[in-house]
Every structure is written in structure tokens, then in C-alpha cells.
Structure 1
């Protein structure tokens, strides 16, 4: 599968890991549509950077936890795709959008749990479902998990549980979509220095050092450690990787 003229959709692509994924995909010659929740200015910067390399790019607003808005989003997406490429279809779906929740199990409210579930599980489930008619046969789905689905840090019970659910879902997607030649995998970053969760890992020096000390390669992850792995999974070289959880964490808690 050549990447020429292929199109990827990256949710939450205006900053952090999503931005890095979008730029890494563009580096492979793949056209990119990103979504943003509220930060249009940052999304536009990503689009301009991709377009400057001669590729097509667009940014669309999406609240990844508002399932009822998905029909309208799909209409907007297919309209943009049709005008830009002549087709309504995409080749790669990267379900990256997400928010953090740091709350002890005993203090987590139903409202907090519902918000995390809508973004990290129901949103992924139903956006993927609604986009399947527009995902080309032979395409790829890449979901994003977390190291926290394998090891446990207090305060992440709700967030990590949803990531665990998406890991199981990904295996089912691989099984049920195999007849269309669609591969589904999940990438699980370890702790990464971004503004995710208010810069929780980046700005807390004590936590940062604790994570580095627990990681075989001796540091905390950076966005550049992740985007290239997602882009690789969209290449022909990765065609036989399917139904896999790929942890990209530098070897934390081995």
C-alpha cells in the first residue's frame, strides 16, 4: 500500500501528541485532516505546516465526547474531503483526542466517570462506527491507550479503565474488520512531556524524575517518541501488524 494520496484523520491534532502524529504522517507523504476541540489557532498552525510541504491538510472542530454531534461532523468531513480530493473517503483513522483525569478512586464522581467514558471509550467506539463507511478497504485504525492500562498509578482508575476498554475494543475491530483488509492496532504511550493534564508530567519535577528513574532508558518520553510510531503503522511495512498493543514507553516498570 503506497502512502501517495492517502488521507489520515487525527482527532485532537492541534497540539501535543496529536500534533506530532499529524506532522509525522505528513512526513510519510500522507494528507492529513485534524480535529480540534476549541483551539482553532493552534490547529490552523498545524494545517499550514503540513500544506507548506505540498500536502493537503484541513482542521475541523470536534468535541470527541459529544456523540450526538458525530453525524454533523461526518457530514462536514466528507464535504471537505470531496472538495479537496474528489472522494469522501479516508485511509487512516487515528483516535487520539482525549483529556486527563487525576482523581482518587474514592473521590471520583459519576459525572467525572461519564465525561472520561464519553471521550475515551464511547467517543472512540461510535466515531469509528460512523466513519467505517468512509474508511477505505485496506485502511488502518490506530487507537491510543496509555501505559496506565498495564501498570497502576494512584489517581488514574477511571482514565486507565477506559484505556483498558479501548484496548479490548481494538482487538475486536481487528477481528471484525479483517474481511475488509482493515488493520486495527493500539499505541500505548508511557508518560510524555506535553501540556496534557495541565502539564502534569512535564512541570512536576519530582514526578518527572520518579518516572525517569522507573524507565529503562532513563528519561521521560517526548512527543517525538510517539508520532513516528503511529505514522509507521500507516505504512506498507506495517501491513502485517494487526490487533496489537504497542507500548511506547522507553521500558517503564519492566
Structure 2
């Protein structure tokens, strides 16, 4: 039923007489699609795949080692908090990015912006039924950095708002980078700030053990590819 309503929503908006309200709905409705695209694949996902989990962990062991866990426990407190804050900032980054473009006269880029973000997100979320895994923090000993205050907020958000499964590629990294590149293409200086935040989100996801390193790397590549495709719109 939810899927039917989601599919009917675009047609309803298209049939709505053009007004400022319908225009605003059209601009912001993609956020609803994003949430639907996140939740629906989890409904048809099976149990975690240990084989894929071992591969992801092996990638970490080979290319990253114990550095994320060690840094989380021994690194500077301010750096840990900044990375946790960056990871938390992933959620408002997309609406802030679109709002920033709109405020600077680039509202006409709405289709291109959301094409980039949604394509990046759906490529990641859509893989979940075939690659269901648990996040590394659920498998590793002492994965939780005890010194981070902001981490408690991240864990609360994940507890109440996530599907509890790991996505490969990382949707956080993919959508954050797609957002940053969209802003960067129109507002280079402002976009550089968004780009820095996006990279911090990717790093924070690995250091905090929300994602494996392979998730983050693949997510960044998906974000770049999605932005490239959006340029065709």
C-alpha cells in the first residue's frame, strides 16, 4: 500500500494546478522519495550475509587495519567529536545544499540536484537485498568510542530511524558527495565547504565504525557517478 501511494504521488503532484505551493512540493518531495527508497529495500532483505561481511572486514584489515578503532579510542577528543558531528550532519546536508542553491539563485537546478542525490541514494539502498550485512560496530569488540558525546546522538538516531543493516555502498557517503558536487558546480567557494563536510562524513563513518572502509570508498565513487549522470539532465 505504501509503495502504491509513493508511486501515485508524482502523478498527483503533476496534475496539481501550478501554484507556489505545488512548486514548493515538487522541489521538496524528493526527500520523501529518499526515505521511501531507504525503507522499502529493507522490507525484502534477508538475514545478514556472513560471506560479504567477511569480505568487507578483510578489506578493512588489509587497507585500514585497526587504525579506526585505535584512533577512536586514542585520538584527539576534538577530532573524534568533529567526525561524529560530520556523520550526524549527513541528514540535514541535502536539504541545506538545495536551500543554499535556491537562496543563491539556482533553484532552476532542482531537477539536476535531486537526480544526482536520489540516483546516488537508490544505487546504495537498492543493493541492500542482495548485500545485507551488519555494520562493523555490531561485530567488532570495543567498537564504540566511549569518549564521544555526539556519538550518543548518532546512536540514538540509528536506533530509532535506521533499518539496522549496513548498506554497501554507503548511502551517507554517496548522497553527501553528490550534494557537495552539485553545490560546487555552481558555487565553487561554498561548494568547497560542502565537499570538506562530505569527505569528513565518509571518514567519520569509518572511524565511528558505522561503515566499513569499502562502503565509504564505494559510496564516494557512486556519488561521483551520480553527479556525472545528473549533468545530462
- For normalisation by structure 1, the TM-score amounts to 0.27
Which structure carries more strand by proportion? Answer: 1
- For normalisation by structure 2, the TM-score amounts to 0.29
- Structure of greater Rg: 2
Which structure carries more helix by proportion? Answer: 2
Greater relative contact order, per chain length (Cα 8 Å cut-off, separation 6+)? 2
